Amino acid sequence: MSFKKNISFNLIIQAIGPILAFLSIFLIAKIGGAEIQGYYAIVTAWINLFVVLGVFGFPQSFIFLINKLNISHRRLFKMSVYYTLLFFILFLLITFIMFKLNMIDKIIINSLGQIGVLSIPITIFVFHGLLRGIYLTYNQGILFATFSILPASLLFLFIFIGIVFNNFNFQIIYLLSSIPVLIIDIVLFKPVLRNSKKHKIIDFPWKPLFDHGSQSFLQALFFSLQPIIAYWFINKYIGSVLEIGYFNFGLFLVQGLLVPISMVAPLLFDYWTKNNDQNFIVKFTKTKIFIYELLIGGIIAFVLNYFIPVVFGSEYESSIKLAQILIFIVPVVIHVRVLIPFIHSKGYPILNTYSGLIRFVVFLVLSYLWMIKINQELVGLAVCWSIAELIGALMTINFFIYINKKEKIYAK
């Protein structure tokens, strides 16, 4: 299957993930209300952060090691198993210490039993993330897309079951959804191990593993920390879990639209580490495309005026303005995030890290100043979020232009 067909199939299939995530939010919001939805947002944000910390950017490194250094799939699989077991032990130990020292949010963990409940799904999702990076180099088609949407699909299923039984214990729901993820992962991965070639290199290339992994890790860390920081500002200056629910509603619409491109990013990175054809990326950076994207963002923002009250009810009308502010620049952000794996594949992952760091710092500083100097409202926090995203996008574009000039990408 050609690269373009792989991208198309992956976008179509992986779009199921954000669609199901949207349906999950819809069900929780309609049946549980904004406060329950805020509770779900906090639990999900922390689980995502723990998974990012556990994965440590290794999937991106695995792609590089397999494509560039010919490391065997089997060897990386074994390493993933040992690493996951080590992570599980360390997570239990560190979380136990933090719990005893009252250093962890009670919404996430309020008893010793919940440490065990959370450690299992988080560890499974870490293992899934590692295997996904390896699996991509074996199969970039429909099975890879299916592999990618497993966590979101099964989480939706168990959220639906929980709602049927009026159970909103999301820690337990995550636990139950993660077990079939692990089983299906192992089933799908068997052909990879069966067809894996023997590893010819005696000394494992640890330096490339950590060099590429650390940059991907930092970028993912900045993405994961931003919503947690936003929820902290809301809790300190604006309101409580209810207001977090309203803000997460708008934020979810943004993140849902960004999920497909985030999911195919490893596919793009895999392609550009194997190929030197730059025609696609050159066409994708035409100035007029950005103008169209701003128009699309404006149209989506306008539609939200009618979409939110009709679909979610009058309770969420207060989320309309902040959702519009957040959604306006999303098409531009989607566009720019295509450049991130390209920049990494050309040997400049640190430039992506700089963009992520600048975006995160701008949001942190601007939000703090806005809260203490201007107003303490959700709309203001949404403005800070969008400004930070736009600045991060502009930085990525500038870095692409820099690489373009240095590597003479346009030169024919």
Compute the distance between CA of residue 5 and CA of residue 73 in angstroms, rounded to an integer.
Answer: 24
Q: Which of 99-108, 142-151, 215-224, 257-266 has the lowest mean pLDDT?
A: 257-266
Q: Considering only CA atoms, which of 309, 165, 296 is closest in space to residue 249?
A: 309
pTM for the whole structure: 0.86
For 143, counting Cβ atoms within 10 Å of its Cβ (0-12 exposed, 13-18 middle, 19+ buried), the class is middle
Question: Tens of pLDDT along 389-412?
Answer: 999 999 998 898 888 777 765 444
Residue 113: the pLDDT is 85
Q: What backbone torsions phi and psi does residue 377 show, to the nearest 5 degrees? A: -130, 155
Q: Considering only CA atoms, which of 355, 379, 356 is closest in space to residue 367?
A: 379
Compute the distance between CA of residue 341 and CA of residue 284 in angstroms, rounded to an integer.
Answer: 14
Residue 382: the pLDDT is 95
CB atoms within 10 A of CB 36: 18
Count helices and strands in the chain by DSSP H and E runs:
17, 0
Residue 9: the pLDDT is 67
The pLDDT-based confidence of 278 (bands split at 50, 70, 90) is low
Question: Tens of pLDDT along 22-67?
Answer: 788 888 988 988 889 899 989 999 999 999 999 998 998 898 888 8
Q: Indicate the average pLDDT of the chain.
A: 86
Spans of all domains in the chain: 3-407
86 touches 123 (CB < 8 A): no
Q: Is the pLDDT of residue 171 over 80?
A: yes
Question: Tens of pLDDT along 304-338?
Answer: 988 888 888 777 888 899 999 999 988 888 888 88
